Structure 1
Amino acid sequence: MNRKMDGMAAEVRVTNGTPGQRDSFVESDDWFRGELDSIQRVLFSFVASLVRDSHLVRDVVQETNLVIWKKRDEFLPGTNFRSWALRIAYYQSLAALKASHRSRLVFRQDLVDQLSEQAGATEAILTDDMSNRLRSCLHRLTARQREVIELRYHQACTIEFIAEKSERSRTAVGMLLSRARAALLQCMKSGGKQ
């Protein structure tokens, strides 16, 4: 089982086969734990055959183990433990499937492919449009601003290097870059028509 069960001692009464009538007590935690451990592969396979989502299967098996453990005093010794546990797994699987269908949308593959193609085409158009706007906005900058933008972002030069190359202070280069970025942003927001 996934959870530690030590310290969860309980007694289960052995019944005479009639629900609600209990005859004798049997220390059963060790027996119950052994039975539960012995059916883990069967439980996993059973849930996997119903759920088919590997992440959800693990969650359902874990939840099933918890429910089985909590309901251990409802198990009637002498009956089929495996059938009893699989019935609980069945209902836990149904509940998980119902919850997962409520929580997410599932699209057909052809629809996903179509949406993907449209998104790619739209992205290409937007990228081309933005590139054209940026080019236009760069041409509207002063020569000094264009040079500093080119050095900083196209050639990846440090502000220190640009300051040394242009014989300006780092503060002056920083201010020039800040004003150039502000002008580019304003121009881009206006659609490149500033």
Structure 2
Amino acid sequence: MARLEMGVEEAADAATAFSFKREMLAALPSLRAFAVSLSRRHDRADDLVQETVMKAWSKQESFQPGTNMRAWLFTILRNEFYSQMRRKGRELPDPDGLFADNLASHPEQYGKMDLADFKGALDKLPDDQREAIVLIGASGFAYEEAAAIAGVAVGTIKSRVNRARVKLQELLTVSGESDYGPDGTSAPLVNRAFPGR
């Protein structure tokens, strides 16, 4: 009888580990995107994600099944990022503009140009505002979840998101819907090429 009970427990443990692994793997793309937004370097983001996965795997017994796996992983990643920053003493700037130059390739389409402008504006935001807008806008977390990940009050997250949106509008000189899409010079060309737009 003891052998049967032990077999049932082992089967339950295996099922839990499989579910944990499946949920963790499903969160990897958004986890990597968050890591890129924090570190601003793809190679460093990959290292952060790897470190996060290793820490999560080793601490899986502290994860409460039925709770939000993505929020738990984002919290681990964020804490790891700031721990590394504290260990280094400060984040290294990009004085030669090498990283910025890699982002500033001449786009072939309006969407690419707009995205490049947006990335540049996003990089100019203070770290706390950029983190908040990425958690809410890009990663799709609710304000409560983002607040838990960042370790601040919900009102603080809402305030940071609002300030980030206002600053992005200012940096991108966006005053309304008409500011999206082709500018006044190129709009006639686009409308001629694509009637009905």
Q: TM-score range by the shorter chain?
A: 0.3 to 0.5
- Report the structure number with the largest CA radius of gyration: 1
Normalised TM-score (structure 1): 0.39
Question: Hey, which of these two has a bigger chunk of helix by percent?
Answer: 2
If asked which structure has higher relative contact order (CA below 8 Å, sep 6+), I would say 2
Counting strand residues as a fraction of each chain, which structure ranks higher? 1
